[in-house]
Structure formats: structure tokens, C-alpha cells
């Protein structure tokens, strides 16, 4: 990875070199053999697997073995500090697919404590309001209400804090200093927090009084938390959680960093069709040429074109269609403007359905929030 | 204070120089004027005040003002990691008196998280068992069940953790490093813990939706926690808690350090009369002379005699009797053995009543544990 790039749970900046990240974090690449194993369980491969968007893992083989013994659950999460954007939905659409295909319980953590502790300028109330809004989007993604359990770090602290301290007892300041780049100026809540993030990886074992295995689908920036979790859990008598890790959905403006709620240039789940159109047309980084004439002659570069990347990563599941677009854009047969129009249509079709389901989600919240 | 002495919430060792502690911690001494103010409220002065055993304070004047406005509550606590000894009861007998005379709500925190996090060799279960035993002793002290609210850090985490993170956001590692002597090897739970200890100082305001003032009676070693708490609470819109601080009850063997549950040589609330007799006779450090003849001639030194100190600090509330004992021991009229017999009789009378009430305490636990 270039020196200027940075990947931590709280900051992703610069051009991310995923091959280097695999080496640096000590991840395993998802290879053909493993894909075959998944396909054996699910009957099909999600395009995000086929296209290498979920590209790395830890002990996924073990998770699949445990699945066959009906001994596996899923754990993922949301940090509620702003609106949900398509970078979040990208991960969760895959999680939903996993839940459906493997028929698994999913424990969904809301790290409202972390987001409050991290953001100097955000009040507790503001975070709680965002959490409510975020829950609506997550429900609208279509998770199974019977098998999905929302865990809220503050609301469920009665359940989680007694478990978190068991983790915390085994982690010292040196360890979080090197894992997260903490300093003497880091606040006590942030220092403690990784213990809380570890809890859903074994809480279902506590609740169900059974030694279950855990699979965590997540974007690769969360890996430092789960590296620590994996070190600690066997000491508490649990399995190391497995993980399956995704690339970052790039921001509109190009391929450095990741899409973020805190910046203006993102695509929100609540954006109107007009807003999506405006943002894509104005900001989406283009791999096309400066003039149409030049584009027709030289062709565009889909590999750096953000619109093409969004189709590949999220909005065009059809491999044949995607291939055609790739070739047509590369040859100059379709222009950037046409490519953007196609993406806008795709996104707006997706969001239309999402927003309809979102309206219904309010009624379902109580079904999703875990209660003993 | 001599170099070798140490006073932190987790360690008290060496000969404690209280005058120096006042200066070092920045405490105020309880003077005649303040004693008069207290007497005005209560109609009488507890002997622990008359004798300077509760010797220092922070903003006690403010607490008394707030008391007159019916705006004050008490907060004290117990760290459950072993049996209750008379060093604990010494503080709590005074707290009970405060509760009764001022007719105040008392929030009683059980820091089971801290004790679990602190003791490498103690399991979570062991701490929970000690907590139950400790509660029986505390109830037996005679607190008002209608006005005493047990807060258990783990059990009430649902209530306390959301408040603790508001404190934690305002304290960084540097601050706890210097306050508590933490290092890079300190575990994350201990680092976070002072935020939890702060919570009962303002939780009643949250529950009752009213800006109340808090008075914390405690042994002086807990002051570093509440110094931090006092810095933070005004930033969250609460009053700085006031405190009234006690000397340490010395261990049986002499005047260095404090009585501790973790050492064998202490006097437990559950000790039998024979056990008390054995311990006092065997261990209680004597200010007497080597032989009876020498003692009759030269007299003893009550100021270093542990039996005398226990009478003064706890078991002889009658000032005239105490004075007589002081003089008689100093003149050699009473021997160490006679002094010890007197103390043993006093302690066993106290413990007999305590142990009777302790048997009844099991039925009362549910009344004491806070529920919303």
C-alpha cells in the first residue's frame, strides 16, 4: 500500500491496494476452491463472489463446515452517525443473500456508543435519531424478521456490558494502540469499544447456551477489530469468528478512499430520482475522453470509471450485460453520458423499491429489536 | 507522605500522612465551623466527626445548602471481591447515620465489573457470589430499605453504560494514566471503569429528571475517581459531587496501609466470637510494654495501639469512656490484655446484632436492588 493510503475502522483514505492489505492484515484470498464449496451449499454464487468483490476471508472453510452441522450464525453491523448510502447497502445486500441462502440467524449490531464517542460534534440524541433512520433502511433491505436480531450497544448494554468486560480483561492499551492507532488523547470510551464490538461474535452462544460458530461479513476496514476478537474468544471458550471481507465501494469522485456518510458526494438510500441523477451527472468520475469525437475514436476506460464500477459492484448483476457494457464503453460505442444514464436508471429502479419497503419498515422495527 | 507510602483506589501502603494527603489531593479539612453547620442540620455530631475520623471534604458546604433545599442525595459503594470487614463497616455506619439524620436517598453502587477486571485470578462467578454475600452485610448495617437503591454495574448496565459513555467521551488516556498510575499494560475495562464509577453521582438526576446535588462519603483512597468525576460532571450539566472523606481503619498489625479483605489478618463481619478473640489476641499491634511490671511503671502508648484505635474509630462511641481508657492505658492502670478483652467484648456485641440482622437480610435483597 502506498504510504499515503490508510485503512482503519474509522478512516479509509488514498488508493487502496487490496493485495497488499491481504498480506498486511494476514487475510486469505477467496479462491476458486472456496467458491466451489460455497456454491455447493447455496446452489448459486452471488455476483459479488463471482466478481471478487468479497475478496478475502478468515476461516471461511471452518464456517462452512459448521454450517453443515447447523451450528453457524451471521453477525454484521451498522455505525449510526448519518444516512445510509449505497456503500452500506452493497455489503448488506450480500449479507441478506447469505442469510437467505444459508437460512441463518443474523445478529445485527448498532454501534451507537462508538459513533457517539467518535464524533465530537454529534450529540447522543442525534446518534439515536440516525439509528432509528438507519434501522428503517436496514429493514427495507429485506432481512428475515424471524431470523434477524438487532443488538443496540446502549439499549442492550444490560446484556452486552457483562460480556464485554470479559473481553476487555484480556486486552491491554498496547494492543489497541497498535491495532487502531490510538494515542494518549483517545477517549476512554473509544479505548474500551473494541470489547463491545466483539460481543455479538459470541453472545448467541451465551443466549442459546451452545458453542456456535460465527461468520462476519464486513468491509475490510473492520478487520482490526475482529483480529483482536479472534485472539480473545478462544480464551473465553468460544470459536474464533470467521469473516468474509469486501472491497470498498468507491466514492463518486474516484477510486480513492470509500463512500462515506459524512461527505456530501454520496448516493443515499433516501435520495430522490432527481437527486441521484444530479449527483451522478455532476460528480461520478468518468473514464471517458474529453470530447465525444475523441471518445468514439479512442474509447473509454471502464476500469477507472465510477459509473461502470457501480454497475459491476452493485447494480448490474447480469454478467453478460456487464461484459457488453465493458466492451462497448472501452470501444467508444457508448459514451459516458449514456453509461451514466443507464446507471441512473438502474439505481433509481433499485431505490424506488427500497423506499417503498422503507415506508413499511416502521411497523416492523419492534420485530427486529432483540428481546429475551 | 513518605516516599514508600502509596494511596490509590487499588492500593494503600505505608504510613499514611493525612495532612500531606489533604495538600496533595487538594482536599479541604473539616473545621469547627463546618462541624457546627452539620450539627445545625442533624441536631448532633457523630463521634466519627467529633473525633476527626471523617477529616476532609470537597464542597461539603454546598451539599449542606442543597440539603436545606431538599435537593441532596447520598452515593457510596462497595467493590465485591471478598468478605466485608470492619474497615468497610466503619465507613457504612457513618453513611447510615447520614442517611438517617438527613433523611436522604442513598445510591449504593456495587462495582462488580471493577473487581472482576482488577483480579486476574477471580472469575466472574466468584465476584457475583461475593457480591451477594456483601449485600447481606450491607443490608444488615441497617440502611433504610425505602431510601436505599443498590446499583450493580453489570446488572444495571442497561441504565448505566449509556450514561458512562457520556463521561468517557470527556476523559482521555493521559488523564487516567496520571490519576491512577495506569500503563500500556492496563486492561481496557480498568481504563474505562472510572466512567462507570462516575455514573451514580448523576444517575438520580437522569432518573428523576431534576438537577440534584450529590454527597459521597468515602475513604480517602477513592478521591482520584471523584476528582475526575468533578471535572467532568459540570460539562454534562450536573453539579460537581461533594464528598466527605474518612481515614483508613488500620490493619490489625499496625498503622501502615489499611484493613483489606484480601489479607488474612482482618476482622470479618461473619467472624465468630472465638475468631475475633483469636485474631485480636494474636495480631492486634500493642502499644504496651514488654512485661506487666514495666507496663505498670511506664504505661502504654494508646496512639500506636491498634485496640485503642479500633475503640476510638468504631467501637467506643462514648467520649468519656474513651478518654478514661486512654488515660488508664497511658498510665499503665490497664494492661494490653485488659484493653484487648474490652475491645473483643465490644466487637462481639456489635457483630452479634449484625449477624442476627444478616440472617434476615436475604428476604430484603429484592427491596434494595434498584428497579425502575
Q: Which three cell numbers stand for residue B144?
A: 433504610
| Whole-complex ipTM | 0.93
Closest Cβ opposite residue A157 in set B157, B168, B177: B157
Confidence of residue B314 (pLDDT cuts 50, 70, 90): very high
Closest Cβ opposite residue A169 in set B164, B177, B189: B189
| A235 vs A110: CA distance, rounded Å | 25
- For chain B, domain boundaries: 6-253, 273-359
Neighbouring residues of A313: CB distance < 8 A, sequence distance ≥ 6 = A48, A51, A53, A90, A247, A249
Average pLDDT, chain A: 95
| A6-253 and A273-359 agree in CATH topology | no
Q: Is B216 exposed, middle or buried (0-12, 13-18, 19+ CB in 10 A)?
A: buried
CATH 3.40.50.620 fits B6-253, yes or no: yes
pLDDT, residue B1, reads 42
Half-sphere exposure of A307 (CA within 13 A, CB side): 30
CATH 3.90.650.10 fits B273-359, yes or no: no
Contact B168 A155 (CB under 8 A): no
> What is the pLDDT averaged over residues B323-344?
97
SS3 A339: helix
**pLDDT higher than threshold 50 for residue A1:** no
Calculate how close chain A gets to B217, using CA atoms only, in Å: 26
> What is the pLDDT averaged over residues A81-102?
97
pLDDT, residue A262, reads 61
Q: Is A155 on the interface with B (CB under 8 A)?
A: yes
Check if the beta carbon of residue A227 is closer than 8 Å to that of residue A199. no
**pLDDT higher than threshold 70 for residue A3:** no
> What is the pLDDT averaged over residues B191-214?
98
Cα four-point dihedral sign B167, B171, B173, B179: negative
Contact B162 A157 (CB under 8 A): yes
The whole-model pTM stands at: 0.93
Q: Which three cell numbers stand for residue B57?
A: 471534604
pLDDT, residue B238, reads 98
| A292 vs A335: CA distance, rounded Å | 7
Q: Is B181 on the interface with A (CB under 8 A)?
A: no
> What is the pLDDT averaged over residues B73-85?
97
Q: Is B199 on the interface with A (CB under 8 A)?
A: no
pLDDT digits (tens, 9 = 90+) for A112-157: 999 999 999 999 999 999 999 999 999 999 999 999 999 999 999 9
**pLDDT higher than threshold 70 for residue A264:** no
> What is the pLDDT averaged over residues B138-148?
98
pLDDT digits (tens, 9 = 90+) for A16-46: 889 999 999 999 999 999 999 999 999 999 9
| B240 vs B227: CA distance, rounded Å | 9
pLDDT, residue B99, reads 98
Confidence of residue B4 (pLDDT cuts 50, 70, 90): low
Amino acid at each position: 500500500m502506498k504510504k499515503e493510503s490508510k485503512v482503519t475502522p474509522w478512516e479509509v483514505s488514498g488508493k487502496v491496494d487490496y493485495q497488499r492489505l491481504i498480506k498486511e492484515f494476514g487475510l486469505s484470498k477467496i479462491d476458486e476452491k472456496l467458491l466451489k464449496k460455497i456454491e455447493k451449499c447455496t446452489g448459486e454464487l452471488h455476483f459479488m463472489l463471482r466478481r471478487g468483490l468479497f475478496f478475502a476471508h478468515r476461516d471461511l472453510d471452518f464456517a462452512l463446515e459448521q454450517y453443515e452441522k447447523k451450528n453457524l450464525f451471521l453477525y454484521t453491523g451498522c455505525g449510526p452517525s448519518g444516512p445510509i448510502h449505497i456503500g452500506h447497502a452493497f455489503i448488506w445486500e450480500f449479507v441478506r443473500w447469505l442469510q437467505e441462502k444459508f437460512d441463518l440467524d443474523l445478529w445485527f449490531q448498532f454501534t451507537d456508543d462508538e459513533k457517539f464517542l467518535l464524533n465530537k460534534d454529534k450529540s447522543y440524541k442525534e446518534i439515536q435519531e440516525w439509528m432509528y433512520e438507519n434501522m428503517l433502511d436496514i429493514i427495507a433491505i429485506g432481512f428475515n424478521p424471524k431470523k434477524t436480531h438487532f443488538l443496540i450497544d446502549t439499549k442492550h448494554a444490560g446484556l452486552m456490558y457483562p460480556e464485554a468486560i470479559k473481553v476487555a480483561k484480556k486486552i491491554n492499551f498496547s494492543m489497541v494502540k497498535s491495532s487502531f492507532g490510538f494515542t494518549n488523547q483517545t477517549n476512554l470510551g473509544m479505548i474500551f469499544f473494541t470489547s463491545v464490538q466483539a460481543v455479538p461474535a459470541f453472545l448467541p452462544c451465551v443466549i442459546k447456551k451452545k458453542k456456535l460458530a460465527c461468520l462476519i461479513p464486513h468491509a475490510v476496514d473492520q478487520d482490526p477489530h475482529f483480529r483482536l476478537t479472534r485472539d480473545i474468544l478462544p480464551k473465553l471458550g468460544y470459536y474464533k469468528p470467521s469473516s468474509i471481507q469486501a472491497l470498498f465501494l468507491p466514492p463518486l469522485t474516484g477510486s480513492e478512499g470509500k463512500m462515506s456518510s459524512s461527505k456530501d458526494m454520496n448516493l443515499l438510500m433516501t435520495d430522490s430520482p432527481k437527486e441521484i441523477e444530479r449527483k451522478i451527472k455532476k460528480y461520478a468520475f468518468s473514464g471517458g475522453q474529453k470530447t465525444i469525437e475523441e471518445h468514439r475514436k479512442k474509447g473509454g476506460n471502464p476500469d477507472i470509471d465510477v459509473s461502470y464500477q457501480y454497475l459491476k459492484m452493485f447494480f448490474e448483476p447480469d454478467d453478460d450485460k456487464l461484459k457488453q457494457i465493458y466492451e462497448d464503453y472501452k470501444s467508444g460505442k457508448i459514451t459516458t453520458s449514456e453509461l451514466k444514464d443507464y446507471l441512473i436508471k438502474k439505481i433509481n429502479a433499485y431505490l424506488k423499491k427500497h423506499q417503498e419497503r422503507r415506508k413499511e419498515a416502521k411497523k416492523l422495527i419492534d420485530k427486529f429489536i432483540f428481546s429475551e
